[in-house]
Every structure is written in C-alpha cells, then in structure tokens.
Amino acid sequence: MASKSHGEANGQDAGGFNVDPMHQFEVHAIYDLPPVAGINVSFTNSSLWMMIAITVASLLFIFSARKPSLVPSRLQSFGELTYEFVANMIRDNAGKEGMKYFPFVFTLFVFVLFCNMLGMIPYSFTVTSHLIVTFALASAVFLLVTGVGIVRHGVGFLKLFVPSGIPVALLPLLVVIELISYLTRPVSLSVRLFANMMAGHTMLKVFGGFAVAFLSAGGVMSVGVIAPVAMMVAFTGLEFLIAFLQAYVFTILTCIYLNDAIHLDH
C-alpha cells in the first residue's frame, strides 16, 4: 500500500482541503508569558475571543443606553429587550428577591451568548466549546448559590438535602442522593453547554468538508453539491438557534438554583 501524502496525513483530501473537524478546537498561544506557580498563563486564542466577546457586548450595551429616546432605535431596543428578557427570567424562576442577583445573571447570559454567537463566525474560536471554560462558569454559579444559601439560612440551608414528607427509614438514602445531585450541578451544567457547542461545530465542519469535496468533484450545478450546501445552510441556522438556546438554558438553570437557595421551602 502506498504511503499517505503529507496533506492526507494531516487530515486533508486530495484537493488540499482540511477536513479535520477537531482542528478548530485547538488552543494555541498568541503571546507567550512565563509560567506562574507552574501554570501556563500565556495569552491564547481562547483568551483573545473572550476579550472580543466582552468588548463587543460592552460597546453594544453602552451605545444602546447612550441616547435613550421615547421611540427607541434598533440598538436601544436590543438593549432593552435583552434587559427585560433576563429580568423576566429571574422574576419567573427566582422571584422578586432573585433580582438582587440580576447583575451576575445578566453578565453570565450575555457572556455565554456572545461567546456562542461569535463562535459562528468563520475562522473564529468558540470559547464555550471547551470544558474548562464552561466548568469555570458553572463553578462560579455553584459557589454563588451555595454562598447565598448559607448566608440567608445558615445551618438551615441543609434542609435543602432533606425532602419533606418521607419515611424516616429512607431519609439517609435520600439525603445522600440529594447531596450527590447538588454536588454534580457544576458538572451537568458545564457539560451540557460544552457538549452542544462542540458537537454542533464539529457537525458543521464535517458537512462543510462534504460540500467542498463534492464541489471540487462534480461542478457547481450538480445535485451532489446542492444537497450538502442546502444541509449546511439548514444546520447553520439550527446552530445559531442552539447557540441562543444554550445561553438561555445555562441562565435559566442558574435562576432555578438561586430559587432553591433563596426559598428553601418553595
């Protein structure tokens, strides 16, 4: 058997098109910095796109509130609708007392949403496709919720792990189950976002590779080209929807966890 060419060995087809769907998730250093306590703190492409997401979101909301008018502009409408969307989410799932934590929840929603959406730009980097990023966000939510519960209820916060109206004989088993369920919240919250974003972008890359391969082999007007391109358009629209839904799900679960910490007897 003949040995593979250099392009094929690196995940490329005969036309030189990169069909490796995992290449887009590689983190690489843009600016090397000396390690701190043995930890690599270099400025990476992930760091860059996080900064871009924060900058774009900040500028959009700053300019949307710069010159408020009775008849809002499109930018002002965007800011107001986003504000009301998150505020209603908190009120519906955590009550009026949950509005104390609006800045945190709003920042979380906007950050995840913009990271997801910017990741849809060709040749960009999807920050939320990395588990370490989503786990850090989920850990921040977990620490906030736990802190709120302890500060508000003290030792009474432990009642969260004791379901009401159960036989005493089943209490030890159910307390262990409730405790494990509570401690795994950061894992489930982070894996849900990471897995959906990574799977969606992998699928787009694979179908994009099919479209380019068929295009180079069959010409522009062949049926074999139209089908993959049509699938790419459909999947791209679906991925935009998933990008928004995952930001929404991440945020609404945060509100539900806050509700558990604020209203133990709810």
More confident residue, 16 or 47: 47
What integer best gives the mean pLDDT of the chain?
Answer: 84
Question: 162 lies in a domain?
Answer: yes
Report pTM.
Answer: 0.84
- The pLDDT-based confidence of 218 (bands split at 50, 70, 90) is low
What pLDDT is stored for residue 14 in this prediction? 41
Question: 10 lies in a domain?
Answer: no
Q: Region 241-247: what's the mean pLDDT?
A: 94
Residues in the chain: 266
What pLDDT is stored for residue 1 in this prediction? 41
Note the pLDDT tens digit of each residue in 189-217. 999 999 999 988 888 887 777 777 766 66
- Other beta carbons within 10 angstroms of residue 37's beta carbon come to 5
Domain range enclosing 224:
23-262
Note the pLDDT tens digit of each residue in 65-113. 888 888 788 889 999 999 999 999 999 999 899 999 999 999 999 999 9
Question: 15 lies in a domain?
Answer: no
Q: Region 145-172: what's the mean pLDDT?
A: 86
Question: 12 lies in a domain?
Answer: no
Beta-carbon contacts of residue 109 (< 8 Å; ≥ 6 apart): 86, 89, 247, 248, 250, 251
More confident residue, 13 or 49: 49
Question: 109 lies in a domain?
Answer: yes
φ, ψ of residue 202 in degrees (nearest 5): -65, -45
Note the pLDDT tens digit of each residue in 27-40. 888 888 887 887 87
Question: 107 lies in a domain?
Answer: yes
Question: 192 lies in a domain?
Answer: yes
Question: 13 lies in a domain?
Answer: no
Note the pLDDT tens digit of each residue in 104-153. 999 999 999 999 999 998 888 999 999 999 999 999 999 999 999 999 99
- Number of independent structural domains in the chain: 1
What pLDDT is stored for residue 2 in this prediction? 42
